[in-house]
Chains A and B, each alone.
Chain A
Amino acid sequence: MTSSGLALVEVTGVEKRFGTTRALRGVDVSLNAGQCLGLVGRNGAGKSTLVSILSGLSEPDAGSVRFGGAPAPRIGDIDRWREWIATVFQHSMIVPDLSVAENVFLGSTPRLVSWRELRARTRDIMREWGFDIAAQTPCRELSVEQLQIVEIARALARGAKCVLLDEPTAALERQAGLRLFERVRQLTAAGVAVLYISHHLEEVFEICQDVAVLRDGELVLTAPTASLSKDDLVAAMVGGVRHVQSAEPAEPAESGGSGESAGSGGSGQSGRSGESGPRGQSRSEELAAGGAEVLAVDDLAAQSAGGRVSGVSLRVHAGEVVGVTGLLSAGVATLGRAIAGAEPYAAGEVRMNGRRVPSGRRDLAQRAGIGYIPEDRRAEGFVAGLAVAENATMTIARQLSGPFGLLRPGRRAAAAAPLTSRLYLVSSGPGQPAGELSGGNQQKVTVARTLAHRPSLIVAITPTRGVDVASKELLLSSLADVAASGACVLLCTDELPDLAICDRVIVLVRGEVFTEFGPPPFDRDELIVATEGLSGTTYSAAHATAQEAAE
């Protein structure tokens, strides 16, 4: 890093703890005028915590933040904080009903508003930076890219000397992303410091002079990008093999026989995959014998809050567990929702056993045999006020009801009993409201509801999120059982260990199929590299040789 003069932003020894989790452990970062520093790290590495500290939204437990050599303003003094550093968050902080000018000066409008002056000052900023958006346009009419420009203009209007861009290209088209890089270069050329946070390493190489890598709350690498290869960067993000293994939760005793997987899957693959590896292989042999095609997706395009997908085609056969993974914004959840009928799709086709499933009709998708375990169980997984048994049998109310549609509670409880016992669902009885259960048991209610209607395909979206270790194993094995009994599973998740139950894994990058892995076991590092949109062969080959050498 350049050592001329005082650093614009200097973070020293910052620590942050949430309960027992140490989100940041003594992180040092410094940023000079005109510098563009990339900040990378996997999910949970501490990036968001650092962003929140740098944005003045939360206070570090230890360490200091200094601006231009002086201590940073106190937390909550947002106005003074913004004079130094302004953050363009991943989620838009624009009020859609206000005009561009009002949004640019949001929070810093004078007590008496002179509309003429507000617009004139907005025009000046736009002209100075070569942006082309009229000051009086209502923001709801703007594109995502233009909204981002308004946010950057807001940062510049405060005279911020440093701009923090959090995943700025997540919602942008490729061309818009390229234009953004142009703007970033323009900012740095004018002496503004930029902290660029991204999951996409190629972007970091494109516009950042330096890069800092966070892993498990520690700053493991800070170096000029020119001195690094992508493989170096990935290695720093993923970390050493032993380190990753120790970060994994302790495995149950049955992984004792995992010795056979130590050679190939050993890098980062913990005992869980070793245990399921042989099973997966025998299953894929069965598949070679020929499982009938159950789900066919062709050229699917859809958009939702969970990201955008376009031109996705895939096949799932009877008896198969297919994983879909990718970064948060890659459209993994959107793909699952669109296939399950929970979200309309804009183009393409979804067919179950050869028959077309209409867009956005969850009821028809269910009738076609698609079970759905939603991503957010509180929002979609169960009705809190209704009893466990009723929630678990909600999908089969029609089958359970007698003449005139009458439903006997006893029959419902009897139908729910095998499901709840199979999943070891702990409740005080079938009559307990689902809202009173613990998180893991609520998730079991959702899974029970899905298993109840005997779907020929289950679309599960991050089914183990927020679930304790024991329940996690149970939910995953119940999904694997479904496949073993001849149905199939589409597991959409960003939790890589969960993919161990899959026969194949499809990796989405920016809403498109990037690559496919299979059969298991899957190399964790290769998966990570692929989700970043990099072809992982060079890295993993080098990594494997290094590992062999070490052993």
Chain B
Amino acid sequence: MTSNQSPEAPVGAAVLSAGEQTPPSASRGAIGSWLATANVGVLREVALLPVLVLLIIVGTVVSPAFLTVSNFAGIGQQSSALGVVVVGESLILLIGGMDLSLESTFGLAPMVAAWLIVPVSAYGAGTDLSPYLGILVLIAVGAAVGLVNGLLIVKGRLNGFIVTLGMTIVLAGLQNGIVKAQTLFNLPQPFAYLGSASFGQLPVSLVVTAIIFILVGLFLRYHRTGRAIYAVGGNPAAARAAGIKVERIKIGVYIAGSILAAIGGLMEAGRVSAVTGQQGYQEGIIFSVFAAAVIGGVSLKGGRGNMIGAASGVILLGIVQDILDLANVSNYWIEAINGAVILFALVLARIVGGESTAEER
């Protein structure tokens, strides 16, 4: 946008020479309409700001413990794992796909890694793998799941919804199967570090998640492949006609999304110092993942959305969760209220952000 000046001259010349053409924008004047579009863009990116402010006011009223550094550090730590998965899902949504199995990858990848690391006495496999190698295994599991999903959806031309739904169940079954539904405790420090350590009050996971959001955001904005992701999601046929390798990019994004889900799973395992059979699928995190992305303005139809929006979606959900905790809402009701609040937030985001999540316009 900074170099808006250079093409100004041809625009002016065109208006003079091609008199019969009257596109709607020409009448408004080039600069004026640029301002208009730019403003819309800025508005869209900060659309959730008033909602966040409102939530913070509500939180402050509900509990004096809300507006404290330690509480926000807690929100950050709790939301980090979800946030990394949201980055992965957003990438997949941007290419016009969807991946329900990220929640199972979120559970299975750390389970496989921990299983190979911990001793047999703690229900491990007996390989006593180094925790560092364990992290590599975790990433490899994520990559493998993403590759299989990508190949089935892109090369096999199967429907992404049903493929990843099936994959969800398979992976969750593996997660329980390999350890006979046991929970793995006593994770070694290098493995648990990401989710448990902190610099003073600042959780490491929050820092890492913030870095991931920023890097992916910059990648999407300034990298050739990042731009190709928008082109593929916005109009795959046009991207293909422009010589973009559509299939390769799609498969790559499925792999990247699953690796991010695995890293999110590593954070979660470190935070709770264990890998449980419930982590991921049985917790049902995928609804929160989709909700955060969509509240943040990532289009389910592909090609629209950015990391600023996705991050604000995650923060919003984290604060809502925290307020519900602080308000001592009865455990029996917390799920219903949580779901209702997310639905309400979706409606609100639709009104503020203007993005329709309907099937057809």
Q: Chain A interface (Cβ within 8 Å of chain B)?
A: 342, 362-363, 365-367, 372, 374, 379-386, 389-390, 394-395, 397-398, 400-401, 404-410, 413-414, 416-417, 420-421, 424-433, 436-438, 440-441, 449, 453, 468-471, 474
In the bound complex, how far is the Cα of B8 from the Cα of A386, in angstroms?
19
Q: Check B37–A421 contact: CB distance below 8 A.
A: no
Verify if B239 is at the interface (C-beta below 8 Å from A): yes
In the bound complex, how far is the Cα of B40 from the Cα of A432, in angstroms?
12
Minimum distance in angstroms from B354 CB to a CB of chain A = 13
Q: Which of B2, B6, B30, B231 sits near A383, CB closer than 8 Å? A: B231
In the bound complex, how far is the Cα of B281 from the Cα of A32, in angstroms?
71
In the bound complex, how far is the Cα of B14 from the Cα of A471, in angstroms?
11
Minimum distance in angstroms from B268 CB to a CB of chain A = 31
Q: Check A406–B222 contact: CB distance below 8 A.
A: yes
Contacts of B37 in A (CB 8 A): 428, 431-433
**Taking CB as reference atom, which chain A residue is nearest B6?**
A417
| Contact A409 B11, CB 8 Å, known A394-B242, A398-B224, A453-B243 | no
Verify if B361 is at the interface (C-beta below 8 Å from A): no
Contacts of B303 in A (CB 8 A): 383, 385
Minimum distance in angstroms from A400 CB to a CB of chain B = 8
Minimum distance in angstroms from A495 CB to a CB of chain B = 19
Q: Which of B25, B222, B239 sits near A428, CB closer than 8 Å? A: B25
Verify if B60 is at the interface (C-beta below 8 Å from A): no
Q: Check B6–A395 contact: CB distance below 8 A.
A: no
Q: Check B25–A394 contact: CB distance below 8 A.
A: no
In the bound complex, how far is the Cα of B223 from the Cα of A440, in angstroms?
30
Given pairs A366-B243, A438-B24, 11 additional interface contacts (CB within 8 A): A363-B244, A382-B235, A397-B227, A407-B222, A409-B222, A424-B17, A426-B18, A426-B23, A427-B23, A429-B11, A437-B23
Q: Check A385–B7 contact: CB distance below 8 A.
A: no
CB under 8 Å from chain A, chain B span 11-35: 11, 13-15, 17-18, 20-21, 23-26, 28, 30, 33-34
Verify if B181 is at the interface (C-beta below 8 Å from A): no
In the bound complex, how far is the Cα of B34 from the Cα of A365, in angstroms?
36
| Contact A431 B34, CB 8 Å, known A405-B225, A409-B2 | yes
Looking at chain B's contact residues, is the secondary structure mostly helix, strand, loop, or mixed? helix
| Contact A468 B21, CB 8 Å, known A386-B234, A420-B10, A426-B14 | yes
Verify if B67 is at the interface (C-beta below 8 Å from A): no
Minimum distance in angstroms from B114 CB to a CB of chain A = 34
Q: Check B10–A383 contact: CB distance below 8 A.
A: no
Q: Check A468–B238 contact: CB distance below 8 A.
A: no
In the bound complex, how far is the Cα of B225 from the Cα of A401, in angstroms?
10
Q: Check A386–B231 contact: CB distance below 8 A.
A: yes
Nearest 7 CB-CB pairs, A to B?
Answer: A421-B10, A366-B243, A383-B234, A424-B14, A428-B33, A410-B3, A438-B23
**Taking CB as reference atom, which chain A residue is nearest B221?**
A409
Q: Check A430–B3 contact: CB distance below 8 A.
A: yes
In the bound complex, how far is the Cα of B11 from the Cα of A433, in angstroms?
15
Verify if B241 is at the interface (C-beta below 8 Å from A): yes
Q: Check B230–A385 contact: CB distance below 8 A.
A: yes
Contact-residue size bin, chain B (C-beta under 8 Å from the other chain):
35 or more
| Contact A342 B13, CB 8 Å, known A385-B304, A408-B222, A428-B37 | no
Q: Check A367–B243 contact: CB distance below 8 A.
A: yes
Q: Check B10–A414 contact: CB distance below 8 A.
A: no
Q: Could you list some 29 contacts between A and B, CB below 8 A?
A: A363-B240, A374-B241, A380-B241, A382-B238, A383-B231, A383-B234, A383-B238, A384-B234, A384-B235, A385-B230, A386-B227, A386-B234, A401-B223, A406-B222, A406-B224, A407-B227, A409-B3, A413-B3, A413-B6, A428-B25, A428-B30, A430-B3, A431-B37, A431-B38, A432-B33, A436-B24, A437-B23, A453-B243, A468-B20
In the bound complex, how far is the Cα of B33 from the Cα of A430, in angstroms?
12
Contacts of B231 in A (CB 8 A): 383, 386, 390, 394
**Taking CB as reference atom, which chain B residue is nearest A405?**
B224
| Contact A363 B241, CB 8 Å, known A429-B30, A431-B37 | no
Q: Check A421–B224 contact: CB distance below 8 A.
A: no
CB under 8 Å from chain A, chain B span 302-345: 303-304
Contacts of B17 in A (CB 8 A): 424
**Taking CB as reference atom, which chain A residue is nearest B247?**
A363
| Contact A426 B21, CB 8 Å, known A363-B244, A386-B230 | yes
Verify if B69 is at the interface (C-beta below 8 Å from A): no
Minimum distance in angstroms from A56 CB to a CB of chain B = 28
Q: Check A342–B240 contact: CB distance below 8 A.
A: yes
Minimum distance in angstroms from B18 CB to a CB of chain A = 5
Verify if B245 is at the interface (C-beta below 8 Å from A): yes
Q: Check B7–A407 contact: CB distance below 8 A.
A: no
Q: Check A424–B10 contact: CB distance below 8 A.
A: yes
In the bound complex, how far is the Cα of B222 from the Cα of A408, in angstroms?
6
Minimum distance in angstroms from B38 CB to a CB of chain A = 7
Q: Check B243–A470 contact: CB distance below 8 A.
A: no
